[in-house]
Amino acid sequence: MKMSSESPYGDSYEWPKDLFEEMHDMGIASFFVYTFSYIVDAARKSKEDGKGFTGSILVDEESNDNYDSVPPPKNVLTSRHLHRAFTPAEIKTLVADNLEELGKYYSEFKSQKRVDKLFRTLDGFSALAFVEGERAITLEEFDDEFQQQELVYGIMKDDVNKRIVLIFRGTENKLAFWSNWLTNAFIFKTKPKIPEMLEGKFDGVRIHKGFYNYIFNETVNDNDGEGKTKFNQILDDIIPLLKAHPDHKLYVTGHSLGGALSTLASFYLASSTDPAIPKPVSCINFAAPRVGNNEYFAATQYLEKTKQLRMLRGVNKNDTITAIPTVGYRHVGFQVTLYDESCGEVKEPIIQYPKPDMPFSTWSHMAWNNSALGNFNLGYDHGDYRERVNDVKEFLETKNLNQMYADPEIVGYTLD
């Protein structure tokens, strides 16, 4: 039976009992979206090569349509929507039935070690779903139709923990190299549209132009109509789910570029006045670079203080990606710095929050730890986030994000 933590948000929602639970679950979601991208792309290529995926799982029991010889997601064909929501067990069956075909296109599926790891992840989800109901956890949406020009995201419904989870895929060199890296490199700041809730309070907000455009540029699909943005499209997907499940909370996550996009999207979702979006919105991400200026930092902290937003970033010590861009940018939310042997020793994570009245010595120490020079290394510390979280499970189980937000000694303010 899951223990609940006392909520400072005045709701009856059964929040996760500790920080490990939130970071662990969002870590699985953030990294699984990469793997699912390969499954979808291999299905697309297999169909183009005249074969296509096979297996009983491709039979839609409701409509009695048989999708043998075609991939399961519609976005391989004509639409970005899945034919139906897929449970973890169904995804496992899909992979098992088509493992040889998957291996033709992606070496990840030729490695028994990697396949076993994927199956263990899916089995863990399925065990929960079996307890709560056979379709308690489902991947509801996955949009990679125009990944050469647009961001990629998925949406998961989790009836076990009562969450709707918006997941942004990170930088993907195999599938969308130019689109992703041009977005990362476009570091000039832009004046964004200020959410109605923040108008007149934080009009000096400036945001990384590449990340902002990726979310708020018009979609490239001519059928979407003039003026429809990627953010509008995301809202079209999540609002019906939230209305259908009013007892669920909204989580946003991602890794790397996905971390940056989740940071920015959660800012706008938390600022929304749509009553279907439950507050606070929770953003738990990994390896996120900075996305905005000092005024953006102040606006984000305002949303945290007024109970609209919970924000936490997992950061590997010596992950250079998390230290950029630099001049004129600020990190937001709680930061959990994770260590391993590459840092000289495995030690307890350091949890920091940029308090408004932070002493200069503490501020300068945080600034150095988050600087490009302070994180410069010749290794590769942009991965292994899930492993590092698992390594410090006992420590993270002693921490609770709600309790940290409710402690003025930690955040420097009292929740309004």
Record the tokens describing residue 4, joined without a space: 């609940």
Record the tokens describing residue 236, joined without a space: 């079209």
The pLDDT tens digits of the residues spanning 139-198 come to 999 998 888 899 999 999 999 999 999 999 988 878 777 677 677 777 789 999 999 999
- Is 7 within the bounds of a domain? no
- Is 416 within the bounds of a domain? no
Alpha-carbon span 78 to 74, nearest angstrom:
6
- Is 53 within the bounds of a domain? yes
- Is 3 within the bounds of a domain? no
Report in angstroms the alpha-carbon separations of 272 from 261, 268, 324.
17, 6, 28
Cα–Cα nearest to 281, from 253, 310, 244: 310
Q: Point out which residues pair with 250 in neighbouring strands.
A: 164
Q: Which has more confidence, 62 or 239?
A: 239
pLDDT at res. 184: 74
Which range marks the domain in which residue 351 is found?
A: 19-411
Report, as an integer, the average pLDDT of 369-374: 46
pLDDT at res. 115: 95
> What number of other Cβ atoms are within 10 A of residue 101's Cβ?
18
pLDDT at res. 320: 75
Could you tell me how far CA 126 lies from the centroid of its own chain? Answer: 20
Q: Which has more confidence, 346 or 13?
A: 13
Alpha-carbon span 28 to 93, nearest angstrom:
19
Cα Rg of the chain, angstroms: 21
Identify the DSSP state of 152.
-
Q: For the domain that residue 66 is a member of, what is the CATH number?
A: 3.40.50.1820
- Is 11 within the bounds of a domain? no
The pLDDT tens digits of the residues spanning 194-225 come to 999 999 999 999 999 999 999 999 998 888 88
Reported residue count of the chain is: 416
The pLDDT tens digits of the residues spanning 56-114 come to 555 544 444 444 444 444 433 334 556 667 889 889 989 999 999 999 999 999 999 99
pLDDT at res. 78: 34
Alpha-carbon span 138 to 316, nearest angstrom:
29
pLDDT at res. 327: 75
Q: Indicate the range of 53-67, 222-236, 374-388 predicted with least confidence.
A: 53-67
- Is 13 within the bounds of a domain? no
- Is 97 within the bounds of a domain? yes
- Going 85 to 121 to 164 to 194, the CA torsion angle's sign is negative
Look over the chain and give the mean of its residue pLDDT values, rounded to a whole number.
84
> What number of other Cβ atoms are within 10 A of residue 387's Cβ?
11
Contact 231, 215 (CB under 8 A): yes
Q: How many CA atoms lie within 13 A of 318 on its CB side?
A: 14
Record the tokens describing residue 407, joined without a space: 């402690």
pLDDT above 90: residue 263: yes
For residue 251, which phi and psi values (nearest 5 degrees)? -115, 150
Residue type, position 171, single letter: T
Q: Indicate the range of 147-161, 342-356, 387-401 predicted with least confidence.
A: 342-356
Alpha-carbon span 388 to 374, nearest angstrom:
20
pLDDT at res. 269: 98
Q: Helix, strand, or coil here: 220?
A: coil
Record the tokens describing residue 385, joined without a space: 């986030």
Alpha-carbon span 379 to 411, nearest angstrom:
33
Residue type, position 166, single letter: L
Report, as an integer, the average pLDDT of 122-151: 86
Of the spans 79-93, 252-266, 316-330, which averages the highest pLDDT? 252-266
DSSP sequence for 29-94 = HHHHHHHHHHHHHHHHHHHHTT----SGGGEETTTTEE-TTS-SBGGGTT-SSBSS-B-HHHHHHH
- Is 10 within the bounds of a domain? no
Q: How many domains does the chain have?
A: 1
